Amino acid sequence: MSEETAPVHRFLTYRLARVQSKLNAQASKLLRAKAGLSLAQWRILSLIGGNPGTRATDLTRISTMDKGQFSRKLKTLVDDRLVVVSVDPQDHRILRLRLSDSGQVLYDRTLPHMRKRQADLKALLGPGEEEAFLGVLDKIEQTLERDLSRPADASG
Amino acid sequence: MSEETAPVHRFLTYRLARVQSKLNAQASKLLRAKAGLSLAQWRILSLIGGNPGTRATDLTRISTMDKGQFSRKLKTLVDDRLVVVSVDPQDHRILRLRLSDSGQVLYDRTLPHMRKRQADLKALLGPGEEEAFLGVLDKIEQTLERDLSRPADASG
DNA sequence: TATTGTTATACTCTATAACTATA
DNA sequence: TATAGTTATAGAGTATAACAATA
């Protein structure tokens, strides 16, 4: 009964949303200051930096973005000469993505700050807490993946 | 070293962002189907439903929204006659918020679905997992609260 | 002067889907 | 026909700040 009457703002999802919103604000502030990038731009830049030569489709799959969003953000990075696009010689539909020299410089300069941010977050957590936390996230995500492919009333 | 070289998309924050994005999509779908409300509208409606007569400022504080966002979303609920606003008799700057009859009906009809969604999420978790998860969220949030009031380079 | 709340502005994000080109 | 990626459109969310009314 105490769970039944828990106030809405104590819901797991509310608290996740609050934390996520603050994490976003923090990362955005940091990226604007250090690299002049939006969070979405950094996501793409870092995905390319960590996986040079990968196809756009694969990066779309790894990130949460759909291909439309991805394409538009990618365009801003290409316009700023941070990313270089080349057509796959075998299959001309496929784009291979790499950082330009200046993109690489920006990536190399920014990544340590972002890693430090992750490390600072991890340092908050006790032994085993990170694994437990990620485990819960994975469980939830897997369930949601099944759920989101079904009609709205299937989950109550 | 293995942590130092963890790919960006394995970052804690990335995985939180993915899960949060999917939770949002699920809740939005559910709310659109069951109540014709946006997630932000539901947040405000449910905060008022659970705290009748509360001032707008207090609800703003509880939710993540700033007062501007809150005010605009609230307006849509008032326009739809789901929320009734009255001026505090003592202090005429303060608004007291309550659900209208139809707002209460919608709230009472929608809340069980949202509670069930929470219960379904909780049911995924083993004993102690929820507490551990929420504990980590709280730790992170407290740190972020301190951090966000400081300049960007303070957190590395 | 400070607080409560509204409004304006501009920008970003998201969702959906039509569209081009290649296969 | 199917896949890779682009573009269009509209709606929703976010950030900042100027503003009016009240205290």
> What's the whole-number mean pLDDT along residues B117-138?
92
Q: Residue ranges of the alpha helices (H) in chain B?
A: 12-35, 39-50, 56-62, 67-79, 101-124, 129-148
pLDDT for the residue B37:
93
Instruction: Convert the pLDDT of each residue in B46-64 to its tens digit.
Output: 999 999 999 999 999 887 7
Q: Which nucleotide is nearest to B68 (CA to C1')?
A: C6
State the nearest Cα–Cα gap between A87 and chain B, in angstroms.
25
Q: Which residues contact A151 (CB under 8 A, 6 or more apart)?
A: B33
Tokens of A42: 């950094």
CA-CA-CA-CA torsion for A100, A105, A106, A109, nearest 10 degrees?
A: 160
Total-model pTM: 0.88
DSSP lists the bridge partners of residue A84 as A98
- Six token digits for residue A109: 């300069």
Query: B58 CA, C18 C1': separation in Å?
Result: 45
CA B115 to chain CA centroid, nearest Å: 14
- The whole-angstrom separation of Cα B117 and Cα B132 is 20
Alpha carbons B32 and A12: distance in angstroms, whole number: 20
pLDDT of A19 > 80? The answer is yes
**Residue A148 confidence (pLDDT):** 67
* Mean pLDDT calculated for residue range B118-131: 91
Structural contact between residues A97 and A56, judged by C-beta atoms closer than 8 angstroms: yes
Interior/surface letters B67-92, b for 16+ CB within 10 angstroms, e for the rest? eeebeebbeebeebebbeeeeeeeee
How many angstroms separate the CA of residue B107 from the nearest CA in chain A?
Answer: 12
